[in-house]
Each structure stands twice: as structure tokens, then as C-alpha cells.
Structure 1
Amino acid sequence: MTATDGIPTGPITSEPLCYETYDHFPTAEERAAILRDTFSAAGIELGAYDERIAHWLADTSDWGTFAVITSWVQRAVQTRA
């Protein structure tokens, strides 16, 4: 399953390439916003170095890698609920 932002909501068995359109994946800025929203929803407070690494992830990762890592955070929060 995949949420509307393209982030998988369950276990991932293959590279997540589901996004609104296959020819336009989120830009680094859009990925950073998804990550900020994910951390905020999880109640994770970020320090300066956390933010630096979050920006690095958004700037440098391909969509599949980014989606998997973000999915881990979202699913970890779901298991606590």
C-alpha cells in the first residue's frame, strides 16, 4: 500500500516507484517537506545536525531510497499507537 504522498504504508518488497506520475517524482524541496511532515507527525524534535542530515537525505537520495526511509519512520510511529 502507498499513501497519497507516495510513501509506502506497509512492508516493502520491491523498489517503491508509486507516485502520482512516474515522469515527475518530488523535487528535493518537496521531499524535504514530506520528511518535515513525517517527523512532525511522529513528534520528533530535530536539532541542527538532524536537520542537516534530513536536508542531505532529501537532496541526495533517489525516490526509492527516500520513500523507504520515510516509510520506516511512519510505520514505527504506527506501531506505537
Structure 2
Amino acid sequence: MLHSRANDPISEDPLNSAPFGYSPESLQREALYAELNNAGVELGTYDRLIVDWIARWDYPTVATIASLIRRTAHTPK
């Protein structure tokens, strides 16, 4: 998962199938924290433990969770 929007694999649109690809755990963790930060989510110690755990999951699952966070953060209130 990259931070450059041009190469950004995190979908801003609803997903109709599993994202395809691979990303190492370190980049998945980085992407999750970036999306949570961009969404303005304040994290506690246990929150960080769970994010670190989720970052070890398979790429399609992590990319979907990151996409959900991104889309939620951009949803008008």
C-alpha cells in the first residue's frame, strides 16, 4: 500500500469484489494508521494493538478495512 494517490490501491468506491494484490505487513500497518489518522481517529494503546494485529491479516481484508475507513471519513455528515 502506497501513500502516493497515483499509485494508491485503497479504493474510494464501494467494492464489489476482493481487492487483488499483496502488501507486506509493515506497509499494511502504515496504510491503516494513515487512514485512521486522515479520518481524525484518536487511538488508545489497545486500539494500536488491534490495528497492529489486523495489519498481519491478508491483503484483501486489510485493503477492504482501509477502504471502509477512507470512505467513512469522506462521508458528509
TM-score (norm 2): 0.85
Asked if residue 30 in structure 1 is aligned to residue 22 in structure 2, the reply is no
Equivalent-residue separation in structure 1 for 2:8 and 2:62 (angstroms): 12
| C-alpha RMSD over aligned residues | 1.5
The runs of 4+ residues in structure 1 deviating greater than 2 Å are: none
Identity level (%): 32
Equivalent-residue separation in structure 2 for 1:28 and 1:80 (angstroms): 31
Aligned length: 72
Structure 2 residue ranges without an equivalent (≥5): none
Task: Show the counterpart of 1:14.
Answer: 17
Asked if residue 65 in structure 1 is aligned to residue 61 in structure 2, the reply is yes
**Letter of the structure 1 residue corresponding to residue 37 of structure 2:** S
Structure 1 residue ranges without an equivalent (≥5): none
